[in-house]
Amino acid sequence: MAICKNALKNHEELFPNHVSKLAITDPELVEVFDNFAFDEVIREGNLDTRTRMKIILAALIASQTLSEYKVMLGGALNVGVTPVEVKEIVYQAVPYCGIGKVYDFLNATNEILVSRGIQLPLEGLSTTTPETRFEIGYAVQKSIIGERLEVMYQESPANQLHIQKYLSANCFGDFVARNGLDLKTRELLTFSMLLSLGGCEPQLKGHIQANVNVGNDKQTLISVVTQLIPYVGYPKSLNAIRCINEVLPE
């Protein structure tokens, strides 16, 4: 197989001494994929290895690709993504993807961590209580999306206001406000999940602006899309690029 040196090096960094069964049964596919995903794609953009692995894990959860997630989780741990960071990625997927999509990934994550000698449960990282979750969540939400939050509350019909309150208390208070990952990373994860889910373009556009608000520029978002092409495909990736250009014109 003509797998290039850079692809072999980057693959070995993630999966030391791994012998691929697909390299035997499907050598042409492995050659094309490895040269693309582990060399050509990695050469583009401004993401470090650990960040790249985090957004890939988030995208794989949203894409419901459990087998590939388990493989890439091993690689992520091998390059220094911590158990705390991994758990926070899984937890953050709950409000954006739903527990139905996340449940199997949580169990798989726990099994892999335990197999590596990690004692569970990990330390608690919640920053809220039942009494403070709305107030803290609202503050975190406002720090991300700005004054538009007040407009969202003002324009919400009375019979839908509880959804706005859920977003503040549950999505942002219970999850986004947690320790373990900073807001810039969490917004990149949210962006990765939304583009991988598909059909969430209004929310994707909102979080493109939110990413900019917390310090992730357009080039960083394009870098995220670039790294995810091998894992989510071109249609969702091109939709994400279109949304980026609509929110952040050249």
pTM of the full predicted structure?
Answer: 0.97
* Nearest alpha carbon to residue 71 among 60, 82, 81: 60
Average pLDDT over residues 17-29: 92
Average pLDDT, the chain: 97
The pLDDT confidence band at residue 217, using thresholds 50, 70 and 90, is very high
Buried b (16+ CB within 10 A) or exposed e, 94-119: bbbbeeebbeebbebbeebbeeeebe
Residue 37 scores a pLDDT above 70: yes
| Rounded CA separation 229/239 (Å) | 11
Q: How far apart are CA 188 and CA 198, in angstroms?
A: 16
Over residues 96-135, the pLDDT tens digits come to 999 999 999 999 999 999 999 999 999 999 999 999 999 9
Tens of pLDDT, residues 158-205: 999 999 999 999 999 999 999 999 999 999 999 999 999 999 999 999
- The residues, any chain, with a CB within 8 Å of residue 78's CB and separated by 6 or more, are 13, 14, 15, 16
- DSSP for 31-73 reads HHHHHIIIIITTTSSS--HHHHHHHHHHHHHHHT-HHHHHHHH
Q: What is the pLDDT of residue 45?
A: 86
* Nearest one of 88, 77, 160 to 114, comparing CA atoms: 77
DSSP 8-state class, residue 84: H
* Mean pLDDT across 209-225: 98
Please report the sign of the dihedral spanned by the C-alpha atoms of residue 238, residue 244, residue 246, residue 249.
Answer: negative
Query: C-alpha distances in angstroms, 21 versus 41, 113, 170, 239?
Result: 23, 24, 43, 33
Q: Name 118's Cβ contacts closer than 8 Å, sequence gap at least 6.
A: 83
Residue 193, burial from CB neighbour count under 10 angstroms (0-12, 13-18, 19+): buried
Scanning the structure block, which residue is given the tokens 């990149």?
188
Cis ω on the peptide bond leading into residue 27 (within 30° of 0)? no
Q: Are 58 and 194 in contact (CB under 8 A)?
A: no
